[in-house]
A and B are shown apart, each in its own frame.
Chain A
């Protein structure tokens, strides 16, 4: 009992081959799009690798790039096969390759689906990488004279301005680190000396934030220093003041940005996967329809196309049998080599 049998006459076969040819070339375009998306994702991750301690995983963009290239190759090959399928002479040379090719296609589709899933699942690992990277980045904010870290201040400032965020989880993260370098502290000032003495590690901690945390939508000029001291500023209550600084943390901001990006890329990859599955099914039908042409001299005759020759459980049984035979075949061959002549009649 064949699975999903469809009858094909000559015209239908020709139409199927032509339609598949077109779909394959469209799929090459889709492969190029996947390649471009993978490249774009890779560049976006590289741009902000400073914020992720240069330890972010490039698995997803690399696999997208690989899938894009493979898709282009496979689909242009399939397009060539479909083009030749209309000419029996040319098709004859492709015949022995079609079955393994279809198996490879099924494998490719599975891997593509897994890659699409990975796009949605990457968020978790990105979150921990970002938290770690931002924490370290903020620690190096003041080291503008240390080679290798001198750009961290500019990077964090531009990040906070661009993504409208402040600190790791919020602006209070800046209270816990020394973000003003010792070079710009006046050690002759009593206030500075008091602060440093009152800190266990000898760090100069302030309840202030860098200018890049300021929110332009605030109606009053930005208050950056003495944020927890209500009496330092006229008509200011730090408990109720919301518009002065950005409230979102940069980890949440970057995570939401990358999540949106990955979700869109994942959605596009799933669509392309569906398209590829349709092409593989069509190619299988074309393959079986052309195999089923009973009389090769008469191309006008009808034939049947199917997905699987027998129903699914029977096919699975036959597959297991063939695997067992393969194993037994090896054993028999080994015995044959030893004994000279093995009874292969069985």
Chain B
């Protein structure tokens, strides 16, 4: 039963390992804390933009899993620093002996699993975001005029604030506003001939205009904002088409939001990768330290050379041992009977 990946650890290398592990653990704790903050930030951003993401889109899964994974990483870092500090002091180590084994298992299984899941979600995010935003923004634009319908009355305010804050207009450009009715019927004069003409000329009876809401206006424009009659070149005679059009925001909200959220998600993904690497190193180091000290029987200052290993035996041997132990536990009665028969048998030949 050869141990897997054994490493001989005399006293000095053991001390070096413990000290290095202490530093790495604190680094892991700091990085875990930062990842926690980053995933919290992403969660808050997604919550703010909730109206513009389709409810069927499970984007919130990534920050939640990342939150759990970074919490486990933070815990691992703190445990690692405590254990490595204790392993240098003979008086402090005994309470850690019993706890370290299960903690390592929990750290590897829980932390590792969550981190891998979070990394997978981070890679899959862009696709889900795209479809979610497409649907969500389309609904928001359609609900812009429904300021008196319960459940949709905030759509106008939220979309205006989005366009003002993120410097965007429409879904993919300002022309999206030409295709929907964003002026509510309550504010349309039924006696105005122009209004009646427009509504009658539209197949679905919608009042469509070549104008945009005020929130599309770009403050950098040198002239007061032109919001209406945008497709008519003669409506604003002094508008110079050769000048770059600074009048409205050029970008669509879809691209802006996608870029913003993807940036946050990729930062989070990078930090999760670094956390994963650090956590693996810390757990490996702790395992080697634990097994080396077990080899010495828990005596810290023992000058003897102890062997640290990952697993006490190869995978096949471990499974066999586990199976035998499990089998022994399941058949206690037959085990007791043979020893009872043994002594009478031994007695007979003697006699």
1/0 contact string of A186-219 vs chain B (CB within 8 Å):
1000000000000000000000001110101111
Contacts of B164 in A (CB 8 A): 161, 216
Inter-chain CA distance A221–B220, complex, in Å, is 22
Verify A210–B188 contact, CB threshold 8 A: no
Verify A211–B187 contact, CB threshold 8 A: no
Q: Give which listed residue, A179, A186, A219, A234, contacts B224 with CB less than 8 A.
A: A179
| B41 interfacial contact with A, CB 8 Å | no
- B217 to chain A: closest residue by CB: A211
Inter-chain CA distance A145–B147, complex, in Å, is 39
Verify A220–B219 contact, CB threshold 8 A: no
Verify B238–A234 contact, CB threshold 8 A: no
| A222 interfacial contact with B, CB 8 Å | yes
| A45 interfacial contact with B, CB 8 Å | no
Given contacts A153-B222, A154-B220, contact A220 B147 (CB under 8 A): yes
Inter-chain CA distance A157–B222, complex, in Å, is 11
- A179 to chain B: closest residue by CB: B224
| B157 interfacial contact with A, CB 8 Å | yes
Interface residues on A, range: 20 to 34
A207-256, CB < 8 A from B: 210-212, 214, 216-222, 224, 233-235
| A317 interfacial contact with B, CB 8 Å | no
Verify A211–B225 contact, CB threshold 8 A: yes
| B295 interfacial contact with A, CB 8 Å | no
| A26 interfacial contact with B, CB 8 Å | no
Inter-chain CA distance A171–B314, complex, in Å, is 80
Contacts of A218 in B (CB 8 A): 156
1/0 contact string of B207-238 vs chain A (CB within 8 Å):
00000011101011011110100000000011
Verify B223–A220 contact, CB threshold 8 A: no
Contacts of A219 in B (CB 8 A): 147-148, 153, 156, 184
| B330 interfacial contact with A, CB 8 Å | no
With both chains docked as a complex, state the minimum distance between the C-beta of A105 and any C-beta of chain B, in angstroms. Answer: 38
Inter-chain CA distance A217–B156, complex, in Å, is 7
Inter-chain CA distance A233–B215, complex, in Å, is 20
Verify A222–B213 contact, CB threshold 8 A: yes
B-side interface mostly: loop
1/0 contact string of A326-342 vs chain B (CB within 8 Å):
00000000000000000
Given contacts A234-B187, A234-B189, contact A212 B224 (CB under 8 A): no
Contacts of A161 in B (CB 8 A): 164, 219
- B145 to chain A: closest residue by CB: A221
Interface residues on B, range: 20 to 34
| B161 interfacial contact with A, CB 8 Å | yes
| B182 interfacial contact with A, CB 8 Å | yes
Verify B219–A235 contact, CB threshold 8 A: no
1/0 contact string of A145-168 vs chain B (CB within 8 Å):
100001001100110010000000
Given contacts A183-B238, A216-B156, contact A210 B148 (CB under 8 A): no
- B212 to chain A: closest residue by CB: A221
Contacts of A212 in B (CB 8 A): 217, 219
Q: Give which listed residue, B182, B219, B223, contacts A221 with CB less than 8 A.
A: B182
With both chains docked as a complex, state the minimum distance between the C-beta of A227 and any C-beta of chain B, in angstroms. Answer: 14
Verify B223–A144 contact, CB threshold 8 A: yes
Inter-chain CA distance A183–B164, complex, in Å, is 27
| B160 interfacial contact with A, CB 8 Å | yes
With both chains docked as a complex, state the minimum distance between the C-beta of A331 and any C-beta of chain B, in angstroms. Answer: 69
With both chains docked as a complex, state the minimum distance between the C-beta of A1 and any C-beta of chain B, in angstroms. Answer: 55
Inter-chain CA distance A154–B328, complex, in Å, is 82
Given contacts A161-B219, A211-B217, A216-B215, contact A221 B225 (CB under 8 A): no
24 CB < 8 A contacts A-B: A145-B222, A161-B164, A181-B222, A181-B223, A184-B223, A185-B238, A186-B238, A210-B225, A211-B214, A212-B217, A212-B219, A216-B157, A216-B164, A216-B215, A219-B147, A219-B148, A220-B183, A220-B186, A222-B213, A233-B187, A234-B189, A234-B192, A235-B187, A235-B189
6 A-B pairs with the lowest CB-CB distances in the bound complex, closest first: A216-B160, A157-B219, A144-B222, A219-B147, A234-B189, A211-B214
